[in-house]
């Protein structure tokens, strides 16, 4: 049985819509604020964290690249809340999502480094996949009682061979 190798497609709002929001200014609408000294690109992600008495939480993740090739043997999701990731320095990174935690369902996207993502509540995804260098992300997700984490092994592994 040959290896299943995942190849990324560019991240864009339309293609990613089943999984979440792409957080970016490119191609978006804005309005002028601050006496004309700023543009506001308003309400770019559906922050959905109040299920089960949850509250929004702001954190920073400092992520390290995994050595290539990367074996993808599981997926995870947060049944009670959305989770947004925004790079704090422009650097491309991979985004791996799935409708079901099965190898046939995996979809790999490449952020241009200025795009963040917001996984909608319950969307299967792989942890951060940064490329080339260590990177910080601002993360907006849910805090609260009740278990908000589910992990499932895939029926068989997929691989990411190139950054």
Among 9, 10, 55, 146, binds a second copy (CB under 8 A): 55
Q: Which two three-digit tokens encode residue 136?
A: 């910080």
Shortest Cβ 64–a second copy spacing (Å) = 5
Q: Do residues 81 and 141 lie in contact, with contact meaning Cβ atoms separated by under 8 Å?
A: yes
22 touches a second copy (CB under 8 A):
no
Closest distance to a second copy from the beta carbon of 142 (Å): 10
Give the other-Cβ count within 10 Å of 92's Cβ: 18
User: In angstroms, rounded to a whole number, what is the distance separating the alpha carbons of residues 111 and 118?
Assistant: 12
Exactly one of 15, 59, 105, 132 binds a second copy (CB under 8 A); which one? 59
Q: Judged by CB under 8 A, which of 4, 13, 52, 66 binds a second copy?
A: 66
Are 5 and 161 contacting, i.e. CB atoms less than 8 angstroms apart? Answer: yes
Contact flag: residue 156 with a second copy (CB under 8 A) = no
Nearest approach, Cβ of residue 99 and a second copy (Å) = 22
Cα 78 from Cα 139, distance rounded (Å): 14
Comparing CB distances to a second copy, the nearer of 33 and 104 is 33
Cβ-contact 93, 128 below 8 angstroms? yes
Q: Compute the least distance from the CB of residue 63 to a second copy, in Å.
A: 4
Is the alpha carbon torsion for 105, 5, 117, 127 positive or negative?
positive
Q: What is the nearest approach in angstroms of a second copy to the Cβ of residue 2?
A: 26
Comparing CA positions, the residue from 14, 49, 9, 4 lying closest to residue 158 is: 4
Among 4, 12, 44, 112, interactor with a second copy by CB under 8 A:
44
- Map tokens 């241009």 to a residue: 112
Contact residues: a second copy, CB under 8 A: 23-25, 30, 33-35, 37-45, 47, 49, 55-66, 84, 86-90, 114, 116, 118, 127-128, 136, 138-140, 143
């Amino acid at each position: 049985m040959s290896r299943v190798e995942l190849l990324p497609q560019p991240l864009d709002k339309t293609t990613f819509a089943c999984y979440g929001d792409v957080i970016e200014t490119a191609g978006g609408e804005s309005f002028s604020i601050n006496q004309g000294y700023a543009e506001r690109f308003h309400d770019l992600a559906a922050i959905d964290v109040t299920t089960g008495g949850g509250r929004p939480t702001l954190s920073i993740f400092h992520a390290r690249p995994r050595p290539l090739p990367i074996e993808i043997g599981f997926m995870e999701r947060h049944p009670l809340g959305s989770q947004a990731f925004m790079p704090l320095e422009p650097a491309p990174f991979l985004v791996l999502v799935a409708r079901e935690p099965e190898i046939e369902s995996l979809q790999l996207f490449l952020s241009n480094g200025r795009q963040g993502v917001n996984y909608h509540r319950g969307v299967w995804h792989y942890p951060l996949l940064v490329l080339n260098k260590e990177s910080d992300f601002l993360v907006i997700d849910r805090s609260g009682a009740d278990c908000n984490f589910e992990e499932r092994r895939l029926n068989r592994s997929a691989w990411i061979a190139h950054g």
